[in-house]
Amino acid sequence: MMTTRSRRSTPAGEHRPVLLDEVLEVLGPKPGEVAVDCTLGLGGHSRAILERIGPSGRLVGLDWDADNLAHARVRLATDDRGVSVHHSNFAGLLRVLASERLDRVDLILADLGMSSMQVDDAERGFSYVRDGPLDMRMDRSRGRSAQQILATIPEQELSDALRQLGDEPHADRIAHAIVSTREQTPIARTLDLCRVIGGAVGQATTRNQGWRLRPSPGKWSLHPAARTFQALRMLVNRELPNLQELLRVLPQCLAAGGRAAIISFHSGEDRLVKAAFRQSVTQGLYRDVADSPIRASETEKRSNPRSRSAKLRWVTRA
Ligand SMILES: C[S@@+](CC[C@H](N)C(=O)[O-])C[C@H]1O[C@@H](n2cnc3c(N)ncnc32)[C@H](O)[C@@H]1O
């Protein structure tokens, strides 16, 4: 599914993947290896992996977002016989590998969350600074949009989701404001939702009202709607259940000595990754597990605010 996109802040050519050096260090791709990128995005990590596995290697890439896949195809020159891409949820990784006649692979990467192109495209509804329809589906060919979920979700369920998936301290107030507003008028657009959140927490949500991403040099502020948007996105796309399924099948997909790396951006995701890796170590499925997550360097954090919350964990298959 292709769409015309609105102005982007991160052109594809300038995209620098999060924790790139660290990912390459822990995965250690070698010539001839078979790699899977579960979250191709713009293909930044994949491209660097491809360079290392070389022409004798093989790369299988997945993305749940058909628009992103189109860009990744161009970036990775997928007419190359060593590269194949799939429009697929990574929860279906076993099915994808079976379709490629691959039993087990050497490297698996998952860089969770959204790509910059998804955030920058107002029509996708992921951004709290661009006005667009409240969609938020990674795969626009199926599922319920954020607008549809917000129209019916019970107040308590919404409040729980904002707290658990967004770590939102004002979850009750925001959920109550959303439910009261939707009784008067549907909440259909991103900036409508921002206004409701701003009203509930008594804070500015637009530049016109005085909100600033960088209130002073070297300082970044969190948008009052950021946590709610994150929670809704995770709810719409069932991100924790999908990650749980990926973690469940991961040991079956890795060859002996194979490495997996997962970059997460949310405490709930990182907890799942940490627990699954530790449990599999005690079951003898993995050796060499990361004791603590790898974080972005201060230099990367300064140049890419998204990297500030990134946590990289890795394992080696026994
Ligand atoms: C942070 S971006 C990946 C960026 C990529 N590493 C790069 O270097 O360009 C995350 C990507 O994962 C995709 N994604 C999110 N959930 C997914 C899922 N369950 N299955 C497959 N892809 C998913 C998103 O569509 C998005 O393109």
Q: Is the distance from the beta carbon of residue 67 to the nearest atom of ligand 1 less than 6 Å?
A: no
The answer to whether residue 4 scores a pLDDT higher than 70 is no
User: What whole-number distance in Å separates Cα of residue 158 and Cα of residue 156?
Assistant: 5
The answer to whether residue 79 scores a pLDDT higher than 70 is no
Do residues 64 and 87 touch, judged by C-beta distance below 8 A?
Answer: yes
Q: Which atom belonging to ligand 1 lies closest to the Cα atom of 43?
A: 9
The answer to whether residue 269 scores a pLDDT higher than 60 is yes
The residue ranking higher by pLDDT, 306 or 95, is 95
The one-letter amino acid code at 297 reads: S
Q: Is the distance from the beta carbon of residue 229 to the nearest atom of ligand 1 less than 6 Å?
A: no
Least confident of 2-16, 25-39, 91-105: 2-16
Minimal CA–CA distance to 251: which of 315, 197, 199? Answer: 315
Cα(111) to centroid(ligand 1), Å: 6
Q: Is the distance from the beta carbon of residue 113 to the nearest atom of ligand 1 less than 6 Å?
A: yes
Averaged confidence pLDDT in the chain: 91
Q: Which atom belonging to ligand 1 lies closest to the Cα atom of 246?
A: 19
Q: Which atom belonging to ligand 1 lies closest to the Cα atom of 65?
A: 25
Q: Which residue among 63, 89, 116, 263 has the greatest number of ligand 1 atoms within 8 angstroms of its CB, and so is best to mutate?
A: 63
Task: For residues 235-246, give the mean pLDDT.
Answer: 98
User: What whole-number distance in Å separates Cα of residue 83 and Cα of residue 15?
Assistant: 20
Q: Which atom belonging to ligand 1 lies closest to the Cα atom of 72?
A: 9
Residue with CA nearest ligand 1 atom 19: 89
User: What whole-number distance in Å separates Cα of residue 186 and Cα of residue 149?
Assistant: 11
Do residues 160 and 97 touch, judged by C-beta distance below 8 A?
Answer: no
Q: pTM higher than 0.75 for the full model?
A: yes
